Structures are given as C-alpha cells and as structure tokens.
C-alpha cells in the first residue's frame, strides 16, 4: 500500500511539473486567452452550463427508464433521480472506479424505495453494461473515422484502440458479474474503499449482505425481456456523452474559436480513456494535461486548449463538488426518518 501511495505521489508530481512548465512556457498566450473570457457573451457560458446539466438530466432519465421494468411499489420521482444522478456522478469523480463507486451509492438510494438488493444490483449492472456498450460504439466509430475520413487524426488511433480493449474488458467483467462468485469478489474489493465502504454499511442496515452473495443476478434475461427499453437507454447514454461534448464545443464558440465537433468528441473520449487510470480523484492533473495535449495535437492553439480545458473542468468537476456534497449530506440526514 505504501508503494502504491509513493507511486501515486510521484506521478502526481511529474504531471504537476509538466503542467507548470507548460503554463510558464505559454504564459503570455494563456494570459491573453483568459482576458478573452472577459469578452465572452454570458449566454455562451450559460449554454455550457446547460450542457453539463443535461448530462445529469439524461442520466436520471436512464435510471427512470430502466426502473420501470422492476414493478416497484413506488418509483423515484424525476427530481429525486436527478439529485441521485448528481451524487452518483460526484462519487464517480472523487472515487475513480469506472462508474462503480457512483452506482454503489445508487444501491443504497434505491433501498429507500423498497427495491431489494438483488434487483438493485441487476439494475446497476444493466446500466454499466449499457454505458460500456455506448463507449465502445463511440470509440469504434471514432477510430474508423480516423482511419478512413479524418486521417490527420490518425495519431489518436493508439489511444482509441486501447480504449476499445479497456471498455471491452469492463463490459465482460460486468457481463459475468451476475454470477455469485464474481459478485462476491467485486463486493469484497470495493467494500474496502473508504467512502464506498460507508455506503455498503448503509445498505447493510436495510438488508443482509448474504442476499446478494448467494443468488445469481438475472442480468441477461432482464435485458432480453426489456430489449426496447435497453435500446432507448443506450441512445440516452449516447446523449450524455453528446451533452458533455456540447459543453466543450460551446466554450470554444464563446471564445471565438470555432472548432469541429469531431475534434471535440475525439479529444473528450481520448481524455476519458487516459483518465481511467484511477490513482487520483477525478484524475486530477492527468485529465487536464491530457485534454490540453489532445486539443493541441488536433491543431488548437495551446493557450486556447488550456483555458477551455480549465473552464470545462470547473463546470464539470469543481462546480458540482459542493452541490454533490450538499445533496449527499441532505440525503444522509433523511436516513433516520426512512429507517423508521
């Protein structure tokens, strides 16, 4: 454990030095770009913020859609699911785990609506499988575009190829996670992680741990019996990524730097692939440096790339932090009443 922490800090230091050197080297250009922000029409920033809000809205719609198959005594409202999606994405940012940490919270959230743990786990696995499938479809499409149509971006193919393999691995893990032995190992692994462990304890107050370990999760029959719903959720997941890309696209337009939507999507996806390395919360520094690098590689001026990246990260990572923390604390305060 000590070795892992040492490596994490070493990598953090390396990336910090890299960003510092780039900031110094392009200081005058970055300074000019930040001055450009003063001239940006506020409506562009509002549009960028709306793009981020849409990611939470579409995520809530996905869960609302998938939950209709479970015949719950009471279905969570759209506003409740919207808040839950913000908290979930908050956990995914602070506890990198390819989406598992945020979904762990959702298990506890759904327990308050009398959804037993086994169907809750199946819902989470279904959503993860849809997410990984959507990412695979996007990455494969981008790789094909780089090889056939957008050949100047051919250099991105290595990252995209790695992304295909990584998300395929995640997808296969989820596909087999419904088996009780695999689920037990995943449960043991993530129940050791700080805040995720607290969430598991919260769930355990309602249900016995053995409930999810002694039964297989009927994932594939669930998908087969609700195929139209699954397909709709798949396209909503594509909409989540599109809304995220819209935020970046609007920021470029607001700064007076028109950019191809393909470049935005390509950079966003490559950055997400690189940031899967879970040694820092939210892949701090790694995310920012990777996105700036990919934009610069695609022909964007380094100063513009850095400024847009920092503003985007403020909207997508830093700004939701206090909101997610506040909503989570409010959710925890309701626990005694729910428990009664």
User: Is residue 99 a part of any domain in this protein?
Assistant: yes
166 contact partners, CB below 8 Å, separation of at least 6:
273, 276
Contact (CB, 8 A) for 236 and 134: no
Cα–Cα distance for residue pair 238/98, rounded to 1 Å: 17
3-state SS assignment for residue 112: coil
Name the DSSP letter for residue 179.
Answer: S
User: Is residue 9 a part of any domain in this protein?
Assistant: no
User: Is residue 34 a part of any domain in this protein?
Assistant: no
Cα–Cα distance for residue pair 65/59, rounded to 1 Å: 10
Closest CA to 221 of 68, 132, 119: 119
Predicted confidence pLDDT, tens digits, the chain (340 residues)? 444 444 444 554 555 555 555 554 555 555 555 566 665 677 888 999 999 999 999 989 998 898 888 877 778 888 888 888 888 877 776 665 555 667 778 888 888 888 877 788 888 888 888 999 999 999 999 999 888 888 777 778 889 999 999 899 888 887 776 665 555 555 555 555 444 445 444 444 443 444 444 455 667 777 878 889 999 999 999 999 999 999 999 999 988 888 999 999 999 999 999 887 654 454 667 788 889 889 988 888 887 888 888 889 888 888 888 888 888 888 887 764 444 3
3-state SS assignment for residue 300: coil
User: Is residue 152 a part of any domain in this protein?
Assistant: yes
* Two structure tokens written together for 80: 């409740």
User: Is residue 62 a part of any domain in this protein?
Assistant: yes
Token match 């056939």: residue?
148
Stated length of the chain: 340
Cα–Cα distance for residue pair 123/145, rounded to 1 Å: 33
For residue 92, the enclosing domain spans 39-339
User: Is residue 30 a part of any domain in this protein?
Assistant: no
User: Is residue 18 a part of any domain in this protein?
Assistant: no
Cα–Cα distance for residue pair 280/182, rounded to 1 Å: 26
User: Is residue 92 a part of any domain in this protein?
Assistant: yes
Domains in the chain, number: 1
Burial class (CB in 10 A: 0-12, 13-18, 19+), 203: buried
Closest CA to 308 of 248, 266, 258: 248
Over residues 220-234, the pLDDT tens digits come to: 777 878 889 999 999
């Amino acid at each position: 454990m000590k070795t892992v922490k040492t490596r994490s800090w070493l990598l953090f230091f390396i990336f910090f030095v890299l960003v510092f050197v780039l900031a110094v080297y392009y200081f005058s250009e970055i300074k000019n770009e930040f001055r450009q922000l003063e001239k940006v029409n506020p409506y562009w920033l509002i549009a960028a913020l709306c793009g981020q809000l849409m990611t939470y809205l579409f995520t809530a719609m996905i869960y609302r859609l998938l939950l209709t198959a479970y015949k719950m005594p009471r279905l969570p409202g759209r506003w409740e699911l919207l808040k839950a999606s913000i908290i979930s994405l908050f956990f995914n940012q602070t506890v990198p785990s390819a989406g598992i940490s945020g979904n762990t919270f959702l298990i506890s959230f759904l327990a308050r609506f009398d959804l037993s743990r086994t169907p809750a786990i199946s819902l989470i696995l279904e959503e993860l499988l849809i997410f990984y499938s959507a990412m695979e479809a996007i990455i494969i499409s981008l790789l094909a575009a780089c090889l056939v149509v957008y050949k100047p971006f051919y250099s991105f193919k290595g990252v995209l190829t790695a992304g295909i393999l990584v998300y395929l691995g995640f997808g296969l893990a989820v596909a087999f996670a419904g088996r009780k032995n695999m689920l037990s190992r995943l449960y043991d692994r993530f129940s050791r992680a700080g805040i995720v462990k607290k969430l598991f304890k919260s769930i355990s107050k309602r249900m016995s741990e053995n409930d999810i370990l002694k039964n297989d999760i009927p994932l594939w029959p669930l998908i087969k019996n609700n195929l139209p719903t699954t397909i709709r959720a798949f396209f909503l997941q594509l909409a989540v990524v599109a809304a995220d890309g819209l935020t970046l696209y609007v920021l470029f337009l607001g700064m007076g730097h028109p950019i191809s939507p393909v470049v935005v999507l390509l950079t966003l996806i490559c950055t997400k692939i690189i940031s899967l390395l879970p040694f820092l919360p939210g892949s701090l520094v790694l995310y920012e440096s990777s996105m700036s690098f990919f934009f610069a590689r695609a022909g964007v001026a380094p100063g513009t790339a850095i400024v847009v990246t920092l503003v985007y990260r403020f909207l997508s990572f830093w700004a939701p932090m206090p909101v997610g923390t506040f909503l989570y604390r409010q959710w925890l305060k309701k626990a005694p009443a729910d428990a009664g």
